[in-house]
Structure 1
Amino acid sequence: MLASCSQKATAPTASNTSAATPDTAVAAIGAAPAFKVPVEYFTLDNGLKVILSPDKTAPIVTVAAYYNIGFRIEPKDRTGFAHLFEHMMFQGSDNLGKMEFIQLVQKNGGILNGSTRFDFTNYFEIVPAHKLQTMLWAEADRMKGLNITQDNLTNQQGVVKNEVKVNVLNQPYGGFPWLDMPQYANKNWYNAHNFYGDLDDLDAATLEDVQSFFKTYYAPNNAALVVVGDFEPDQAKAWVKQYFSDIPSATIPEKVNLTEPPQEKEQRFTKDDKLANKPALAFAYHMPERNTPEYYAMGLLNQILLEGDDSRLYQALVQDKGYTGSVSGGINYLGNMFNYNGPMLWMGDLVYDKTVSADSILSVIDGEIEKLRQNGVSQEQLDLAMVKMRSSLYDQVSQMYGFGKADLLATFALFDNDPERINRLEEEFSKVTPALMQQTVEKYLRPTNRTILIINPQAQI
């Protein structure tokens, strides 16, 4: 599936750390080698941000093109448009016919994909190292000129509508909670609309809409290009300049206002699901602003409360009470805690037996958070959370032959103009203190900052 936006993607867990003792956890922190990713960063005259990160581990390269357009800022009355356009990017360009981009990658032994997320749309290819030049040429070809025709648009409107039906409308718990919760928890339309797309809105997209969208958002000055893997930086730089330098820049619209008003009262909603046979519950708390000290503290609180079988909520809800077989969650269900650029929710969700009440589950969640509020987080507990966070971060960087590394480099370039930030993440987490953890619990994990969504099962068994 070219569009992976329907997949819930939480940050990797680190269950292998659950058996660590406090002494070994602290020792691991002290003995860990410095985390260092090679980064060469430059910007072409047309505004394209380019990040090169050589890695000779294996004879492969990952090429990733990230565009600073995602679900959040798609046009009003055109819900799902960012996702629709992701599909259009595989329909041919000036020198590659329909589906030939895909065939070019696959016939050279590579894999590829694209996805639409909150704040970006990305495309990547992982190929044998000697095919780097070919992939750079191909990515430049579709950035330079996409084959936008009515036939292609009509075809992809049908594909996307079918995807919505298969993945959301005709699935039990379809869209729960990754698609549903933002619509309930947020107030600003940009954060709260149906990202996957209303079927009527998808039908209403015109050829002129698509052409304008491409010229506006798929310009080099609204993009980042990343190359990770086995290559010579000087040669890669020469090829990037050769193929991308002559693509004209565009006038980028002013950023939309994504600000969410503070939530001062708990919200509860129930949604009927005609295909579900068990109730489900999701909870969401508004996150601190990205890159603040509290943001990093929330990342560590997430490790304590939700990540892994040793997490507080797994132990309480699964092991102790037996209310559910699993509980999952995290920061940013459509990626990880680093690759977004706006308001975000810390969420958790579970499916449970009809014999259990939603209030019983919420009482357990409140109890675990109250323990943190009353007792605080000890340095010992913080050190263990840091071990898990480090493991999660390393998993992210090594994911899919370098794609995980490319993802962080691209988003840090797009959002912060600072891909080197990848090498400072551990330092930022290490600044978090027990006092800051407790302050963050008090300020953000309060019931009045929470939205509850309960699935009411309607399936006839």
Structure 2
Amino acid sequence: MLSSRRLIPSLLLGLGGILALNACSQKTTSGVTSDQKAPQPAQAAKVATYQVPVDYFTLDNGLKVVLSPDKTAPKVVVAVYYGVGFRNEPRNRTGYAHLFEHLMFQGSQNLPKGEFDKIVQSSGGINNGSTRFDFTNYFEIVPSHKLETLLWVEGDRMRSVALTPASLENQQGVVKNEVKVNVLNQPYGGFPWLDMPQYANKNWHNAHNFYGDLKDLDAATLEDAESFFKTFYAPNNAALVVVGDFTPAEAKTWIKKYFDSIPKATLPAKVDLTEPRQEKEQRFTKDDKLATKPALAFAYHMPDKNTPEYYAMGLLDQILIQGKDSRLYQALVQERGYTGSVSGGINSGLGNMFNYNGPMLWDGSLVYDKNVSTDSVVAVLDREIQKLDKEGVSQELLDLAIVKMRSRLYDQVSQLYGFGKADLLASFALFENDPKRINQLESEFRKVTPELIQKTLREYLRPTNRTILTINPLAKS
């Protein structure tokens, strides 16, 4: 992700492991004793699941609010998600959404620059922000008694961020330096999370340099910043989520107090993000003067979000690339030793399969030995996909993929004192007006059948729907 700060991830709270263990205890037909009945698909969908509390309402100014109390620890997460990301930024202003994320940390109407951080850090909390494809988010994790203070702070900068020529110039320099450090002066910089969308997509909104060209960053003006704020940073283009140890009635009172009077804006028409159907494989090579080994990334266009095929791709992702038991890890690392690791997934470089709102790629990448040819790596990829197509996906393999997905999902829910939960709730509120979807995800994956898996594989994992990007290393090892 493009982020103004870096966080050290906390240990997961363990909920995912417990739920996964429960899922593993459900036997398939082959393990049923004479006095047991094999669970039917309809019955499997009724398996008791962990339910996230969701209290959802909208203020008169259009601000979507989600409250999810959790007494596990005396902490609260406050997260504000704005419906603007890379795909909304203006032409000739590449990287602008990320630049503006930085500007939101430069002070507000009642808080000079640096005071926001002091409030959070003096209480033992942490705060951060990031820019993604379809949103920019800001969040704080603080002791519970600081909730009202943080709601006031977020309301203050939503109402009136401090934009000055000095702050703009300062943050242009910070972002340009970030580009140089993280991309231009780094081996494999931007590979593949920044590179692949530019090669695989055709629509400019999906395919431009999200980090920003240096000339575009230099060209941004204070008038651009003020217009961007008035256009996108309005309550009717945002979702506010509170997760953790708090009293909902009290939180509602504070939220109305600090956000209700912020005026709504007239939002622009939604950007057309449509991608044409890909009918021919694309292959590209990129020289890297700092890389010492070749690297390869592959990407396939995803099914539309929330379709049956979308959930099937989520399970194919688990089968093919997630974990050391995945087909590609076993084939490329364990069996052939081409590489030490394979990574990837759905929206893998900038989030997860739930927190986006438009066309998306399923991708994977690896750095491999110089004595291995690109065609050899691609041949392994083709072989594993063709093997799944030919042999089909057994119910046993599908059940295992569901267990892995279930564990991964609940790891997400419990991550970082509930921030992972806040991320899902905010995304579902912002994009679908339905944060309660968080409690329906498992049942959606359980609807997937082996037949749907195979149908999805044949349509979306075909070579003609694929882009291959290789890194040509120019540095001496």
TM-score between the two structures when normalised by the length of structure 2: 0.92
Q: Is 2:390 the counterpart of 1:378?
A: no
Superposition pairs for residues 55-454 of structure 1, below 5 Å?
55-332=70-347, 333-454=349-470
Question: How far 1:99 moved relative to its partner?
Answer: 1.4
Which residue matches 2:51? 36
1:53–1:227 Cα contact (<8 Å) kept = yes
Question: How far 1:73 moved relative to its partner?
Answer: 1.2
CA distance in 2, matches of 1:351, 1:377: 29
CA distance in 2, matches of 1:274, 1:2: 23
CA distance in 2, matches of 1:228, 1:16: 21
Question: How far 1:5 moved relative to its partner?
Answer: 9.4
Distance 1:370 1:6, change over 3 A: farther
CA distance in 2, matches of 1:303, 1:390: 11
Deviations 1:147-196 (A, max 9, x none): 00000000000000000000000000000000000000000000000000
Question: How far 1:109 moved relative to its partner?
Answer: 1.0
RMSD: 2.3
Question: How far 1:32 moved relative to its partner?
Answer: 6.2
Deviations 1:190-224 (A, max 9, x none): 00000000000000000000000001100000000
1:105–1:111 Cα contact (<8 Å) kept = yes
Q: More deviation in 32-41 or 154-163? A: 32-41
Question: How far 1:35 moved relative to its partner?
Answer: 2.3
Deviations 1:410-433 (A, max 9, x none): 000000000000000001000000
Deviations 1:18-64 (A, max 9, x none): x99x9746479969641200000000000000000000011000000
| Equivalent position SS for 2:127 | strand
Distance 1:126 1:23, change over 3 A: closer
Distance 1:15 1:283, change over 3 A: farther
Which residue matches 2:34? none
CA distance in 1, matches of 2:246, 2:25: 38
Distance 1:355 1:275, change over 3 A: same
1:26–1:383 Cα contact (<8 Å) kept = no
Aligned length: 456
Question: How far 1:351 moved relative to its partner?
Answer: 0.2
2:6–2:128 Cα contact (<8 Å) kept = no
Deviations 1:5-28 (A, max 9, x none): 999x9xx9x9989x99x9746479
Superposition pairs for residues 13-24 of structure 1, below 5 Å?
24=25
**Where in structure 2 are there 5+ consecutive unaligned residues?**
32-38
Percent identity between the aligned chains?
Answer: 73
Distance 1:443 1:425, change over 3 A: same
CA distance in 1, matches of 2:99, 2:91: 14
Distance 1:58 1:32, change over 3 A: farther
CA distance in 2, matches of 1:200, 1:434: 50
| Equivalent position SS for 1:234 | helix
Deviations 1:369-420 (A, max 9, x none): 0011111101110000000000000010001100000000000000000000
| Equivalent position SS for 2:128 | strand
Which residue matches 2:3? 3
TM-score between the two structures when normalised by the length of structure 1: 0.95
**Where in structure 1 are there 5+ consecutive unaligned residues?**
none
